[in-house]
Structure 1
Amino acid sequence: MKNISVIGSGTMGNGIAHVFAQFGFEVSLVDIKQEFLDKAIAKISKNMDRQVAKEILSETDKEAALSRIHTFTSLAKGVEKADLVVEAATENMELKLDIFRQLDQASPDSAILASNTSSISITKIAAVTNRPTQVIGMHFMNPVPVMKLIEVIRGYATSDETTQKIMSLSKELKKIPVDVNDYPGFVANRILMPMINEAIYTLYEGVAGVEEIDTVMKLGMAHPMGPLQLADFIGLDVCLSILKVLHEGFGNPKYAPCPLLVNMVEAGYKGVKTGEGFYSYTAGNKDLVLAPRFKK
């Protein structure tokens, strides 16, 4: 597989395109507006500059990688030569199902269709295509150029051949693939999201403040980032969406999203992406600043 199409040029999509291009693959990056694509290319270039500064890439390597990324606003054009398509659109079930219906019609019959979903059923996604044996999950971690893990998720009908191809391909990207089965949240988010939710409940119930909760988990459990800061980084709306998938998928009240999380998302406080969540974020400021509403 040498021709890779990536659907969606946001944080995950541009990171996925970056990594494939870095390791010699031809990449078609697809989004609905050219301005989104231009912003993604600028972001990839900036991230590659960091790799050049750290001597991970040479300037020549960077320019060669960027030349391998081609942008498209037409999904059909962007996937017409694909050996593999990786969908990295917003974590919305209906949107993903619609995209996969289009991918099934537009991409070559031999192409593998992968989703970067962090929680949505691969089996359900595969069911809207005529190639369920060739549909799989490739859950990259953020930031994609740095994080080594890829959760490789088998849908109910995903073939062994498809799985092995994706496991091997992931290793070509110098990643560590882990083969998991298709149940709500897979492994990473089935474990991570209840921890984040419990941290939010701990705040909601007045057990401790934001900084105290994060400090306990950083110093006591050796986490590099506290759960509330991590929630801000992931996006509180994304955390809520994943918890809803877990809650609905298992029907277990232990996955019910904390009311504080629900209120924050509904009010538009979604973390880093909106400038405020549990902490406040301003461009160019790397200091961790507690959000005004959580100051004592």
Structure 2
Amino acid sequence: MLLTRRALPGVRVPAWPDARRTFRSWRRTRPFWAGLLLVLGGAELLAVPLSPVTVLVSLGLGGLAAIGIGLALIVAGLFLWYAPAARRYVSLNALILSVLSFAATNLGGFLVGMALGIAGSAMGFGWTPAARPPDEPPVEGPGAPGRAPGGGPKALAAVLPVVLLAAVGTPAAHRAEAAPRGGDDVRAAAAPPTVRTTLFAPHGFAFAGVTRVPTAAGPLKVMVLTMRAASLADYRLTTRDGGGAELALGADTLELSGRVTLYLTRFSGCLEGLLCVTFSPDGLPVPPVVPPFVFMTDVTAEQALVTSDLIVADRLTLNARGGS
């Protein structure tokens, strides 16, 4: 017996199969799953600061950053759906935002939002339009992509995050070296002074690279950090001269402004007061650009040199001990 499906008089046949077929055709012409992952990642970044969780990794401006990056990732996912021709540009920017969310927001939404953003960005960048079967009608609409000439292989989806993270952590040997202002006559101490501060809040912070500064004992390898200004609380600098005397310089607050440059052999502290890290010229590389709302607590640094257009200290003290 052959059973056939016929519409009875007065009974409407649901259009669900046609809707599914239309949606499937639309989905196959754009990086749908990549956009979905970006939307989910952005929603997760938004949900963390807006949730009733009482303890967050990043509060205040960090919460605003989570909202901003979350909204940007959601918009990027919508762009992948409705403007797939711009997928490479959108995916690259979304990938940068996803990586930055680790430092700028609650560890990238406790790693979940960051992971979703990186995966969606990589999938969107590596996506290429599939060849349309001859019997399939073309998809109309402003977002319908054409065949991308010379589209890259999908292996780029796996390579792109590695390339970006490598670029973020590129040591100064691959960057233009920054020399101390003041010429070759500027010499640093052979044993860099130790600086301690309970709060280090830079503005316009950037990693300029690694260079060598001259000392009496020979060149010293240092990291070069530049910024427009910086605020330090409970500033303490300790150094020893050639005779063994200890010199201690202290201030309740220290404000650096203008063209501020720090030459450091070691730099450690806690990002946002929680994630403690240590940077050195040969160790963990400093990110090339740090968001302006990022601060560090319990900072200890070995400071070879510091230059600044203006230095303002509150309640400056100077003590000397020992020596021969």
TM value normalised by structure 1: 0.27
Instruction: Between the two structures, name the one with larger relative contact order (CA 8 Å, sep ≥ 6).
Output: 2
Larger radius of gyration: 2
